[in-house]
Amino acid sequence: MSIIGVGIDVAEIERFGASLERTPGMAERLFLESELLLPSGERRGVASLAARFAAKEAVAKALGAPSGLRWTDAEVWVEESGQPRLRVTGTVAARAADLGVQGFHVSLSHDAGVASAVVVAEG
């Protein structure tokens, strides 16, 4: 396996939360319902959503930042162990296939008012 691309992104949590409040429907345009909810069914917090948004930006960067990628074609989900994973479909899966990507690694973090994500595309 080799590294095809690496992406990193950060999101200021307070600013991201304000954008979600100011723009009705924004969360539904960026995230799948499964990303918006915790396993308990409660709504996911802003810091967690900001980290997922950063991951989606990082995915795009790892794929060369082409235009036309749909936000909801990259889904961040979490294994029972707590390890985040990426599931790609549609436009994101097509771009990944064009580049020979076999899988992704993702790391999420949030602290001191900033959410961050790193994505490695491997082929």
Residues annotated within a binding site for Mg(2+): 9, 57
CB 121 within 8 A of CB 2: no
Token code pair at residue 117 = 């994500």
Q: At what angle do helices 46-62 and 13-22 cross, to 10 degrees?
A: 100
Binding residues: 9, 57
Rounded Cα distance, 114 and 10, in Å: 7
Count Cα neighbours of 94 within 13 Å in the Cβ-side half-sphere: 8
Structure token pair of residue 5 = 């691309």
